[in-house]
Amino acid sequence: MKLLTTQNYKTTKGEKLGILTGILYLAPAKISGYEVCPRRSAGCTAACLYTAGMGAFSNVQQARINKTKMFFEDRETFMSQLRKDIKALVRKAAKQNMKPAIRLNGTSDIEWTRFGIMDEFPDVQFYDYTKVFSRLTQERPANYHLTFSKNESNDEECEAALRLGVNVAAVFNTKKGEMFPKSWKESYTYDGDESDVRFEDPKGGWVIALRAKGQAKKDKTGFVIF
């Protein structure tokens, strides 16, 4: 079972920048019977893009559930396949003269530093979003970039992350074609919809502004900034 995919509208934007990205999509929240989003809120659970794009198809959803169960129930096989997929992505990127990148938490928030996978591939850029603030202050591999994610109840942690110089992703009720607010929480905003390659964003505590998509457009929890 192949774990990583490059067939995603997000990765297409990155390819224009010379970056080939492989993303791992698991079944989010506790859909598989295993919790993979430990700090999820009601707002982000309701707004999750799990069923967006290819995720709208039942066979794709079942494949993600199967991957998640494999991760928890047969870790050795899962990690072996993940290594194979990363090596294949590296080879493909080299043939296309592109830089390989991996996002392991496409629809999850697992602490991947526990498994040493970034250390095994020091020439590959890994990146993720996370809502677990403690990960921002823990030592992590130089090739692993984290962006903190805002929900409706973690404003204080967002402000602390910005003070640490960590970028914070926030969802705004800004229509396509409209400009984002210039700042939030006294920090400048940057259009995060230009691509998904967060490690290429400006450094030093920027707010990575994203437009509300899917169910997020109906948000009533405060997850989306109006």
Report pLDDT for 30.
93
Position 187 in a domain = yes
Q: 27 or 217, which is more confident?
A: 27
Q: Which tokens go with 28?
A: 């989010």
Span 67-73, average pLDDT: 98
Q: Are strands 4-5 and 19-24 parallel, antiparallel or unpaired?
A: antiparallel
Q: Which pLDDT tens digit goes with each residue over 103-155?
A: 999 999 999 999 999 999 999 999 999 999 999 999 999 999 999 999 999 99
pLDDT for position 129: 97
Residue 51 scores a pLDDT above 90: no
Is residue 201 a part of any domain in this protein? yes
Distance CA 68, CA 31 (A): 9
In a domain, 226, yes or no: no
Count of domains forming the chain: 1
Q: What's the burial of 147, exposed, middle or buried (CB within 10 Å: 0-12/13-18/19+)?
A: buried
- The dihedral region occupied by 95, where left means phi > 0, alpha psi between -120 and 50, and beta the remainder, is alpha
**For the ranges 29-33, 42-46, 84-88, 187-191, which has the lowest average pLDDT?**
42-46
User: 48: which 2 tokens?
Assistant: 């999750």
Residue range(s) defining the domain that contains residue 209? 4-221
| 31's tokens | 């859909």
pTM of the model: 0.93
